Amino acid sequence: MDVKGTPLSEIGLYGLMNRYQQKAGSKQSSTIIGMGDDSAVIAPAGEYQLMTSLLFLEGIHFDLIYTPLKHLGYKSVVAVASDLLAMNGKPGHLSISLGLGNKMMLEMVDELMDGILGACERYQIDIVGFKPTSSLTGLSISLTITGSVQKSELVTRSGGKATDVICVSGDLGSAFMGLQLLEREKRVLKASGDVKPEFGNSDYVLERQLRPEAKIWVLESFKKLKIKPTAMIHVKDGLSAALLLLCKASNSGCRIHEKKIPLHQITLKVALELNFNPLIAALNGGEDYELLFSLSLTDYEKVMNELPEQITAIGYLTEREKGCRIFSSGDQEIEIQAQGWKD
């Protein structure tokens, strides 16, 4: 990591805060007071307010050897905003706290904030808080985001019913395979000292890992089709965990078809190259930031008529006592398990 540049001591804590206050601007009519005071002031109008938070730690959640700071900033906003999308909500206001190690220079913070500001512009989010502080353990990024949803449009994990169709947006496992590719090249670099990375034509999985996008288009499609999922969850820790969490909240079981799980061709190519099972990447890989949701049969037909290539039906909900299982390619029923899951 390059440490050349302007020491943060030259601009100071309040200079750093003022620097990004001037760049952030305001996009939400509900923002009364944003950055620059002791607290933000937000005036919602007759909606449910949503709030969630996320913490990114260097060495745990990201590696600066292969993660561009601009991409990291963008990705962190996508990650936290996706939790609001999973409740059919619209992201609105973001508060950021940064822990900055002594290797961080002003230009590096600028690069990180350029990514955050870019994502906020893309998704029309106002930054209403920015608090930097010193860190002895490397870079940390803490984000708290609020948003809103019309009361009649709120979707939770708990509304699924037996016979509802389980669907997922996009494809799965690609971000994890991108991470495996980056880790492989890191090991090669460490062993050789100076070798140019060899990624071939694998840009798709690298982009899914380093600079993903929030799936706002899914919610826009629901609105256009005048439908509402019965339950929904953000796929951030793999498909297995998302399925188990949704089924537990909905007091249901599920049946998933392995052959239906959407895998991109580049994901399959990289998995073959790295001798890795792409199904494991989809089930337990994480960081896909797709949306998993259940639909009534009527709404499912509407979705398939309009979005047959962007939304995939992978199974259905059942009664709870039937458990959560996946039909393998050999038509065997296998219990769904997720890393870190204890019930």
Q: Is 152 in a helix, a strand, or coil?
A: helix
Chain region(s) in the chain for CATH 3.30.1330.10: 8-153
The domain made up of 165-335 is a member of CATH 3.90.650.10: yes
Q: What is the per-residue pLDDT for 17?
A: 67
Q: pLDDT tens digits for 131-144?
A: 999 999 899 999 99
In the predicted structure, residue 159 carries a pLDDT above the cut 80: yes
Residues in contact with 20: Cβ distance below 8 Å, sequence separation at least 6, in sequence order: 35, 113, 117, 127, 130
Answer whether 294's CB lies under 8 Å from 246's CB.
yes
Question: What is the spatial distance between Cα 133 and Cα 28, in angstroms, rounded to a whole number?
Answer: 27
Q: Which residue has the higher pLDDT, 148 or 75?
A: 75
Mean pLDDT of 176-205: 85
In the predicted structure, residue 19 carries a pLDDT above the cut 90: no
Q: Which residue has the higher pLDDT, 195 or 212?
A: 212
Q: Which of 71-75, 213-217, 335-339 has the lowest mean pLDDT?
A: 335-339
Tokens of 9: 């001591």
pTM recorded for the entire structure: 0.89
Question: Which phi and psi angles does 280 have, rounded to 5°?
Answer: -65, -40
Q: pLDDT tens digits for 307-321?
A: 888 999 999 999 999
CATH topology of domain 8-153: 60s Ribosomal Protein L30; Chain: A; (3.30.1330)
User: Is residue 8 very low, low, confident or very high in pLDDT (cuts 50, 70, 90)?
Assistant: confident
Q: pLDDT tens digits for 283-334?
A: 999 999 999 999 999 999 999 988 888 999 999 999 999 999 999 987 889 9
Show the beta-strand stretches assigned E in the chain: 31-33, 41-42, 48-57, 90-100, 126-134, 140-149, 165-169, 231-235, 252-257, 290-295, 311-319, 324-327, 333-335
Q: What is the per-residue pLDDT for 40?
A: 52
Chain region(s) in the chain for CATH 3.90.650.10: 165-335
Residues in contact with 196: Cβ distance below 8 Å, sequence separation at least 6, in sequence order: none
